[in-house]
Amino acid sequence: MDRIFQGLIQLVVYVWRLGWTGLTALGSGQWLRVEAIVTADPVRIEGVGGIVVEFPYSYRFEGELYTGLHEEPCLFSESEFMERFAKGIRFVVRVKPSAPEISLVRQRDQAAGVLKEFDRIDERNRRDVASS
């Protein structure tokens, strides 16, 4: 019976974390997408609400360097998430233009096509600089 109760508590806390994350992200779809990089390997944290994986990252906005910390609740398997966001991995964050120190990771922004678009923009910028 204790296991069932503990499992129920973990599920409730997990759902609460997902809801809070969703509320925090409201309006962020209009924020700018910026390339970020994971600066250290993810850490697995076990607590009352189950497992959370967190990783630090950095990004540049208008030439300035910023850092962030993402926490991802994982109900079942955290290993895939930890591999996906290992140290050195490039990914996309949303940055609040009026407060660029505020950023967040949205899972739907992590499609491979988004990073390929950044690569195309970088290549175009390099060509523009070289030709001037």
What total of structural domains would you count in the chain?
1
Residue 63 in any domain: the answer is yes
Q: What is the model's pLDDT at position 23? A: 43
- Going residue by residue through the chain, which has 132 residues, state the pLDDT in tens, using 9 for 90 and above: 566 655 555 555 555 455 544 445 556 778 999 999 999 999 998 876 678 899 999 999 999 999 999 988 876 667 888 888 999 999 999 999 999 999 999 888 887 555 565 556 556 555 655 565
Domain hosting residue 79, numbered range: 2-125
pTM score of the predicted model:
0.67
Q: What is the CATH number of the domain that holds 75?
A: 2.40.50
Residue 52 in any domain: the answer is yes
Residue 7 in any domain: the answer is yes
* DSSP secondary structure, the chain, as one string: -HHHHHHHHHHHHHHHHHHHHHHHTTTGGGSEEEEEEE-S--EEEEETTEEEEEEEEEEEETTEEEEEEEEEEESS--HHHHHHT-TT-EEEEEE-TTSTT-EE--GGG--HHHHHHHHHHHHHHHHHHHH-
Residue 33 in any domain: the answer is yes
